């Protein structure tokens, strides 16, 4: 489906585009035929997430007693599949003593939040709004 055709998708396809776009950054745009945009999002967001991990960042736990930690965990999960892979491999702990720890956390959180914006953009593209 090309975006310049301004075709609308049904609800089931929209849900699939949204889930795909969340799981693999940029895949929603690739699905909708926006190849260059999708590849840029894939490289930029995955690279940003990987940099956060390489700089000893921490993937926050879901702790409802601390609202900011909980929100950071939601932002981390928003990255999709890279988040689950990092957790499975054991790259989620981080090093508090590392000089880059706070910057790394910012990279991890912002990559997830940006991925949510990319998901919304993919959904708008699928609905023919773009």
What is the number of domains present in the chain? 1
pLDDT in tens, 25-75: 999 999 989 999 999 999 999 999 999 999 999 999 999 999 999 999 999
Q: How far apart are CA 59 and CA 17, in angstroms?
A: 26
The pLDDT mean for the chain works out to 90
- Of how many residues is the chain composed? 130
pLDDT in tens, 13-30: 899 999 999 999 999 999
Kindly report the CA angle at 43 between 40 and 46, in degrees rounded to 5? 135
Dihedral, CA atoms, 86, 90, 96, 99, nearest 10 degrees?
Answer: -60
Task: Determine the structural domain holding residue 36 and report its residue range.
Answer: 3-126
CA 84 to chain centre: 11
The pTM assigned to this predicted structure is: 0.87
45 contacts 29 by C-beta, under 8 angstroms: no
């Amino acid at each position: 489906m090309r975006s310049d055709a301004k075709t609308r998708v049904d609800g089931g396809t929209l849900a699939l585009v949204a889930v795909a776009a969340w799981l693999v950054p940029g895949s929603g745009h690739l699905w909708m035929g926006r190849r260059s945009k999708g590849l840029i999002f894939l490289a930029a967001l995955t690279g940003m997430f990987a940099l956060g991990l390489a700089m000893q960042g921490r993937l926050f736990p879901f702790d409802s007693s601390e609202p900011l930690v909980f929100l950071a965990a939601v932002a981390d999960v928003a990255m999709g599949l890279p988040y689950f892979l990092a957790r499975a491999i054991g790259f989620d702990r981080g090093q508090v003593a590392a000089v880059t720890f706070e910057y790394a956390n910012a990279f991890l959180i912002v990559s997830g939040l940006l991925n949510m914006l990319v998901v919304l953009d993919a959904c708008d593209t699928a609905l023919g709004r773009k």
